[in-house]
């Protein structure tokens, strides 16, 4: 099965909060990331959290990390139509190799 799992689709209304969830299986993960991908484009780094942190907030974005449950979430406050995209969580494992392991991606649809 997947090492990093995400729900495939989330739909919210403009102005609501969006919460995108991610679970991972490797407890040795050091950094956990959230990337945004718009259609036909590359990946945009949104935010990241080090594994010894519980929470990180950056403007409309809040990342929560529950190491015990290996659960990561991204909350987008006051979601806008421009937030519609695919969101990937990704991890770097404590193996010395810095390649990312990605989740399947969550498509966020924001309805006006």
Partner 1 sequence: GAVVSQHPSWVICKSGTSVKIECRSLDFQATTMFWYRQFPKQSLMLMATSNEGSKATYEQGVEKDKFLINHASLTLSTLTVTSAHPEDSSFYICSAGTGDQPQHFGDGTRLSIL
**Contact set with partner 1 (CB under 8 A):** 31, 33, 35, 40-45, 48, 88, 97-105
On whether the CB atoms of residues 52 and 66 are closer than 8 A, the answer is: no
C-beta of 21: minimal distance to partner 1 in Å?
Answer: 16
Please choose, from the candidates 22, 26, 15, the residue with its C-alpha nearest in 3D space to the C-alpha of residue 78: 15
C-beta of 42: minimal distance to partner 1 in Å?
Answer: 4
Smaller CB distance to partner 1: residue 45 or 77?
Answer: 45
Smaller CB distance to partner 1: residue 11 or 17?
Answer: 11
The pairing of strands 85-93 and 101-102 is antiparallel
DSSP summary character for residue 96? S
């Amino acid at each position: 099965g997947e090492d990093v799992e995400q729900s495939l689709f989330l739909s919210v209304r403009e102005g609501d909060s969006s919460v995108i969830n991610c679970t991972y299986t490797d407890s040795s993960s050091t950094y956990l990331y959230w990337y945004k991908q718009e259609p036909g484009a590359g990946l945009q780094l949104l935010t990241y959290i080090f594994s010894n942190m519980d929470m990180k907030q950056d403007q409309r974005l809040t990342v929560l990390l529950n190491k015990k449950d290996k659960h990561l979430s991204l909350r987008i406050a006051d979601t806008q139509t421009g937030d519609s995209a695919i969101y990937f969580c990704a991890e770097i494992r404590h193996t010395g190799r810095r390649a990312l392991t990605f989740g399947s991606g969550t498509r966020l649809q924001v309805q006006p």
